[in-house]
Amino acid sequence: MSWFLAFAGFAALIILHEFGHFTAAKAVGMRVERFMLFFPPILAKVRRGETEYGVGAVPLGGYVKISGMSPNEELPPEVAPRAYLRQPVWKRVVVIGAGPAMNLLIAFVLIFGLFVAKGVFRSDIVVDQIQAGTPAAAALQPGDRILSVDGRPGYVRGLSDHEVAARQRALRREVNTHGCAATPPKNGCRATTAAAVVVKRDGRQLTLHIRPRYDAQAKAMLLGFVYGGRYDRLAPGPAASQTVTGMWNITRLTVSSIVKIFYDPQARKQVSGVVGSYEATRQSFQFDTVRAIQVLAVISLSLAVVNLFPFLPLDGGHIFWAVAERVRGRPIPFRVMERASVVGFMLVAFLFVVGLSNDIGRLTGEGFGAR
């Protein structure tokens, strides 16, 4: 089921993005020749009026073909007045911007809906999920409040989000002080000493002695559980404000991350491609539907941000050259745009190669961190 849900989620993002272009083009009077989900070869198609609708075999995107997007395109006399390049600049900007705008709207609706229906998550120093076969599985239970580890304080009622996060980090560092006998430590080796974990369970205070285990992926000694928390529901007003703030923070992070990949090797390792995004979504559906919806919202927002970079063939490139034409007062020579588009193609190719190579590495070993 997780495979189907992830596929449906991705397909919806693609369809709605292209639907934005399609609807705007129809609204301003342009001729839409084709509306395609996924890329050729074409598996199925049907014509309705002047537009052909189809499904391709390569699930890496989709496209809307509007008549006259190239000056070299030959069009019948009755179609030529509706060609893309014959339209005023504002119409072209509206049509091209409608795709990213749809992705922004999707992200807003998903995040806003979660805030209103579920609430904002407040982390706490409480055991939520326990990994099977780990040291925690034999000692801890979901709902245990971690009062301390080796005397280092944990749960206290009324802590702020910042204080909770700081105490969680401090407790992890304390657990990590219990090392293995082997040097360097091997995956799965038990600590030579036990951590004294004080918990509150069903109103009783218990002291548990648990020997952490080394996790090669995390490169740390772990007990094997995930902290939980609670959801505080928000009214529509605060939910909208929180959504806009969160989307702005993700946008800044997306832009800075893309800039960093050109000079920071560590940043390049964080990039995911289509395969990684899909797999992270699939695993999230398998693990937590709320988390999966959050992942889809972030992907939709990131697609909008990346698409607005001012390089052809991205949507932002079309908008940039349309605005440049308006400022210049006459059309930009097509050969100039073709030469400039090399930068965009190189950027897209670079992101694709980096993302795909990272995805292959995660598929074959380190995982996607969806859990």
d(CA 343, CA 346): 5
Query: Would strands 220-222 and 225-232 be described as parallel, antiparallel, or unpaired?
Result: unpaired
CA distances from residue 140 to 126, 333, 369 in whole angstroms, order as listed: 11, 69, 23
Give Rg (Cα) of the chain.
Answer: 26
**So which residues are the catalytic ones?**
18
d(CA 90, CA 121): 41
DSSP for 292-310? HHHHHHHHHHHHHHHHTSS
Closest CA to 91 of 22, 32, 50, 30: 30
Q: Greatest CA separation found in the chain?
A: 85
8 A C-beta contact, residue 305 and residue 315 = no
142 three-class SS: coil
Residue indicated by tokens 């190579």: 357
Residue indicated by tokens 């009783």: 204
Question: Residue 153: what are its φ and ψ, rounded to 5°?
Answer: -70, 145
Residue 98 identity: A
d(CA 298, CA 296): 5
Cβ contacts of 104 within 8 Å, gap of 6 or more: 247, 300, 301, 304
d(CA 79, CA 154): 70
For the chain, give the number of residues: 371
Q: For residue 76, is the peptide bond before it cis, meaning its omega torsion is within 30 degrees of 0? A: no
14 three-class SS: helix
